[in-house]
Chain A
């Protein structure tokens, strides 16, 4: 069992839909990151969370430390949101990031 699990693995949506990507982890963490990876391979950091909720534009990230669960929401989705979204956690016991396998999002016009 992976320490970081994401669901769904693949998600296809129509433009304008509200999207939720989930991340569950099994270890104690000091921070959780949401990352976006475009087809060319480059990765962009979207959020870093240790508690509560953060919002940036149409993106919202929440974390529940007790339940060891985080969600990334995209409101009014757009085809340019199509990418792989990766959840990564930094364990309290170390400095290394452990990554989930990613969620491939495709938003159709």
Chain B
């Protein structure tokens, strides 16, 4: 069964360093989402892509976060510089329609710890 792949699974870094996360969605899925989930809370959307275009990045802290999906397939989320408050689970999800009734398929997540 096709799955959303993410790497790394775990990342420990010091504050002010740069970190990058990678996501490979299910083949053929046009929509890709990056979420941040702080411990004990629900996921929060950071950015949504439709193919290679950003559809919604209103909640992305653009002074330090960036995301790209250059060829409309896999995607990279970068944080530079990392801050202590960025410690969280970063989840990637993909969907195949982009319509309101779309089901999202989640990857295993990257757990980030900033020291």
A42 touches B108 (CB 8 A): yes
B44 touches A95 (CB 8 A): no
A97 touches B101 (CB 8 A): no
A109 within 8 A of B: no
Give the nearest-CB partner of B110 in chain A: A41
- The 8 Å CB contact of B42, one of A45, A48, A99, is A99
B104 touches A95 (CB 8 A): no
Q: How far is the CA of A57 from the CA of B23 in the complex (A)?
A: 31
B40 touches A48 (CB 8 A): no
- The 8 Å CB contact of A30, one of B55, B101, B107, is B101
- Expressed in whole angstroms, the minimum distance between the Cβ of B100 and any Cβ of chain A is 4
- Expressed in whole angstroms, the minimum distance between the Cβ of B111 and any Cβ of chain A is 6
Residue of B42, B89, B91, B104 with most partner-chain A CB within 10 A: B42
A53 within 8 A of B: no
- Expressed in whole angstroms, the minimum distance between the Cβ of B30 and any Cβ of chain A is 13
Q: Chain A residues near B108 (CB, 8 Å)?
A: 40-42
A76 within 8 A of B: no
Q: Sample 14 A-B pairs with CB under 8 A, ordered by A number.
A: A31-B100, A31-B101, A41-B89, A41-B109, A41-B111, A42-B108, A43-B106, A43-B109, A44-B106, A45-B104, A48-B103, A95-B98, A102-B40, A102-B41
Known: A42-B106, A101-B41. A96 touches B100 (CB 8 A): no
A88 within 8 A of B: yes
